Structure formats: C-alpha cells, structure tokens
Amino acid sequence: MSGPGRYLEEHADQVHEAAERIRGHVRRTPVLGTDLDPELRLKPECFQVTGSFKPRGAFNAVLSLVARGSRPPGVIAVSSGNHAQAVALAASSVGIPALILIPEDANPAKVAATRALGAEVIQEGINFANREQRLREVMAERGFTLVHPFDDWDVIHGQGTAARELLQDAPDLDVIAAPVGGGGLLAGTAISAKRHRSSVKVVGVEPAAADDAYRTWKAGSIQTLPTSPSTLADGVRTTAIGRRNFEVMFAHGLVDEVVTVTEQEIADAVQVAWSRLHLALEPTGALPLAAYLAEKLPKGLMGLILSGGNANLQTVATLLKK
C-alpha cells in the first residue's frame, strides 16, 4: 500500500479511540535506548500491567462491549497465559466473570496469575487440538461472550496503541519489528506505523519452528500448520493467523516482511535481554531482539516491540546457564 487510504484512516481512528478508552487501565510503557546500538529503540511491554502487551486489546474489547450496552453474563477466552491474564483483569475491572480455557501444558506461573486475577480456569483435558471445540461447548453452556486473542477488531485496535506510543516518543523510526503469533499485535502495529508514515517498514518476527505467518506472507493466503509447533516462544504457538489479521497485514499490504528466527537465536536473545539489557523478557517477547541480533531486520533507526516478560523461570534459568 503506497499511502494512507480510507481503510487505513478508519482503523487508525479506531486505534486512537482505543488509546483514549484504555487510558488509566494500562501503562504507557517507556521507550528505551540501549548501548547495543545507538540506532535501536526498545518498547518493553514486560513493564505493562500483567507483564505483557495483552491488556491493551483485552481492555479495549471488554470496555467496548460494556459501552455498547451489551453486558453479558461473562466473557470467555482461550489462551496459553498472557491473554488469559489480560481478560481476567479487564473483566474484573467492570465486574464481569471471566472463564479461561488454558491448555494443560501451559506455563504454570501464567495459570496461577490468571486465577489470582479472579478468573475461573479450565485446564483438564484442554489441548491445542481440542480447545476450539471445547470453547464452543462451554460458550453454549454458559452464554459467555468470546474475547478472541487476536482475530477481533477491538483487540487489534487495542494492541495498536503500543506502536502508537512508540512512534509518539520516537517519531523518526525507519523500522518497527514485533512478534507475530495470531497477528493481533502485528496488525495493530502495522496500522499505527503506516498511518504515522507510509515509509516505515513493519516487520513481523516468528520462530522458524512456527512459521505460519511467514508462509502466509509468501503464499498470499492463510497457511495453517498441521500441529501446534514446539518452540521456546510459547506465546506464538498458533497454527494460523486470523482472518482479520490477514486482511490488515497482507491483503492490504501494511506489513512489509516476516522473518523467522531459530530456537538458538531466541535463546541467545533471552540471554542478552536478561544479562545486558536487564530486561526480564520471556522468549516470545525477545523475538524482535533475536531478529536484530541475527541481523535479519532492515537497516535504519529501529524500534522493537518486546511483547512481554511472563517467563517460565525454570526455562530462563536453563538458558542463562548455557
């Protein structure tokens, strides 16, 4: 897309409205320089409430639901952890019950945090293969409203507020890189970046072991992995990006490139984050840093959206010993 069109303008307006709506519920995280490179700017969403960017989208979705006068008996979500915590917090802020389906093999710390925020958690028998079917069954039983982790316009617009803040604080950026799993953060980032300046390059980063977005970018149609991928970056273990996310990122050409990083490159980035940047990133949050360190990103003044810090401490301890 060569410049802002009506589609981009309309969605950028929605990101602006989301920023106003969620103000007071989320933190404006800082933009940091680093001695790694004078051309590098970091947006550490590990400093966000609940430890990841996810409350931006969850609060926008839940608050929009209430503002429209639709107050359901509860909200429901499927998540490996970060979206779960965000929905739990957003729902509790407006007095709506939250029910989260979390796969049995999810990070125990994320599960405990979700329960601590007041959500009901169902884990028994839940896995990546059956979780969508179980979701439909529980929604039918309870009558709860779904807050999708990425394929939802309110969620996408909320996630776009991170890049919006980044560009307000660092308006001259040439490149913005963000992790991509289902595509909520990257789609929102692309909307904010291309509205700011069409020449800003927007790059998604995902594990080579979970390269559905890369395949989708290359193919021009949504590509689905046959099974849930095995990767250190557990926050991006989706098998395909969402339909709305595809529309923003590839159908409208707002994402310039998707790059992949190896498991070793992810591990190296976690080590650099903890030991040199003193940022407690989880592997998913370190994906853009991994791409930068592996010299896989375009040159120029670069902003990295580091999506979260809810790390499995046993995993991090193992990585730091190496």
Q: What is the pLDDT of residue 196?
A: 98
Distances in Å between the alpha carbon of 246 and those of 4, 66, 104, 190, 307?
18, 27, 29, 12, 20
The residue type found at 151 is D
Sign of CA dihedral 141, 144, 148, 153: positive
Q: What is the pLDDT of residue 70?
A: 76
Q: What is the pLDDT of residue 252?
A: 97
Q: What is the pLDDT of residue 1?
A: 37
Write out residues in the chain with pLDDT < 70, as ranges: 1-4
Among 52, 45, 55, smallest CA distance to 21 is for 55
Q: What is the pLDDT of residue 280?
A: 97
Q: What is the pLDDT of residue 4?
A: 53
**Average predicted confidence (pLDDT) for the chain:** 94
Q: What is the pLDDT of residue 72?
A: 86
Q: What is the pLDDT of residue 135?
A: 92
pLDDT per residue as tens digits for the range 102-151: 888 887 888 899 999 999 999 988 887 788 888 999 999 999 999 999 99
Cα distance from N-terminal residue to C-terminal residue, the chain: 44
Strands (E), 149-200: 175-179
Domains and CATH numbers, the chain: 6-52+153-321 (3.40.50.1100), 55-146 (3.40.50.1100)
Interatomic CA distance for residues 131 and 123, integer angstroms: 10
